[in-house]
Amino acid sequence: MPSNLRCHLLALPNVQTTKHYSLDGFCSATIRMAKLLKLLGHEVILYASEENEAPCDELVHVITKEEQTTLLDGIDYQYAGFFGQKCYPIWALANGRTIREIRARKQPRDVLLLIGGTSQQQIAEAHPDLVAVEYSIGYISSFAKYRVYESHVWRAMTAIRQGSEDGRFFDATIPLFFDPSEFPACDRADDPPFVLYVGRLTVKKGLEIACRAAQAAGLPLKVIGHGDEALVTHGAEYLGAVSQDVRNAWMARASVLIAPTLYVEPFGSVVVEAALCGTPSVTTDWGGFVDTVEQGKTGFRCHYLGEFAQALVDARHLDRSYIRQRADSLYSIRAVAPQYQQYFDRLNLLWDQGWNTVTAPHERLHLVERAG
């Protein structure tokens, strides 16, 4: 069984793969996956734009920064990867180049790693000899035979939305993962208490709930994000769309993070990022939060305004060292890497015979050892 994979990792064409674009979750996921693949010893060929901070063996430019600026003129870069007819030209350009560049580099048994849903489907269809894997699904438009979801909740939601009542043997659920060294810890001994909101400034992210709950709790609210600043109300302070390092420093200092998302969150990475700083979270009681927020231990999942307000007060007394330790044990890159390696080992076993593959006892033991 080969231990090293050649991976063609595709970035989205709307961003540079740098921390400057950390507000774009898909960009952050691409950088994290590159780090994980290199940690596991796999070869990474990254198809992206010009500026790059993702570790790789080869960076293939499929779109320039100038082309991004021109084609995305007047479009919010956070949403440019997916929404609306205005975005078609940038996808058409980048996808066409990516297809050609992969054709020039691919070898037998290579893996194609995608995170753009049906927007990248034509690339997979152009290379049917590669195993196409959607490696971090937090969107509805998934299509590949091999899929890795960010949470069990989103895996079930996708099946419902796509009209399937049957299970899918080759699907897997592996949580998002993070580098704990990027998230500073703070005991907050010298800081006055405050609540922090980090995310898009939209109605569906529950920003109004955050503003009202903080006011009801008698705690100041600081807001970080990109979007409609008019939604920052009830005396909350808007800090802007700050850099990743500045955002992480604010998360470490916060008494509590609030994330009252109104829709079913596929994962809700900001809660885990805050937890890696030792900061508890107050959230709604659905979506990925059901897994990431341990009720009464790392935060509270709430159901009405008064409960949110009380939770913001009570969360200040939770054990920050336990919150950080739990997040590290479940969501650090070290903790999650063996899960991906087990998944890649399974792909290697399935390559020739698919579902009918029968592994010998020593191969099954090998999988257990690699996973551990």
Summarize pLDDT for 265-295 with one digit per residue, the tens: 999 999 999 999 999 999 999 999 999 999 9
| Cα–Cα distance, 88 to 272 (Å, whole number) | 33
Residue 332: strand pairing partners? 178
Residue 140 pLDDT more than 60?
Answer: yes
> For residue 350, what are its two tokens?
């399935």
Q: What is the pTM of this model?
A: 0.90
Equal CATH topology for 6-177+333-371 and 185-329 = yes
Residue 199 pLDDT more than 50?
Answer: yes
Summarize pLDDT for 141-197 with one digit per residue, the tens: 999 999 999 999 999 999 999 988 788 889 999 999 999 999 998 766 557 899 999
Summarize pLDDT for 81-123 with one digit per residue, the tens: 555 556 778 899 999 999 999 999 999 999 999 999 999 999 9
Half-sphere exposure of 173 (CA within 13 A, CB side): 13
Phi and psi (nearest 5°) for 362? -70, -30
Summarize pLDDT for 32-49 with one digit per residue, the tens: 999 999 999 999 999 999
| Cα–Cα distance, 335 to 159 (Å, whole number) | 27
pLDDT at 89: 86
Domain spans in the chain, listed from the N-terminal domain onward: 6-177+333-371, 185-329
pLDDT at 2: 47
Domain 6-177+333-371: give its CATH architecture: 3-Layer(aba) Sandwich (3.40)
Domain 185-329: give its CATH architecture: 3-Layer(aba) Sandwich (3.40)
HEC sequence for the chain: CCCCCEEEEECCCCCCECHHHCCCHHHHHHHHHHHHHHHCCCEEEEEECCCECCCCCEEEECCCHHHHHHHCCCCCCCCCCCCCHHHHHHHHHHHHHHHHHHHHHCCCCCEEEECCHHHHHHHHHHCCCCEEEEEEECCCCCCCCEEEECCHHHHHHHHHHCCCCCCCCCCEECCCCECHHHCCCCCCCCCCCCEEEECCECCCCCHHHHHHHHHHHCCCEEEECCECHHHCCCCCEEEECCCHHHHHHHHHHCCEEEECCCCCCCCCHHHHHHHHCCCCEEEECCCCHHHHCCECCCEEEECCHHHHHHHHHHHHHCCHHHHHHHHHHHHEHHHHHHHHHHHHHHHHHHHHHHHHCCCCHHHHHHHHHHHC
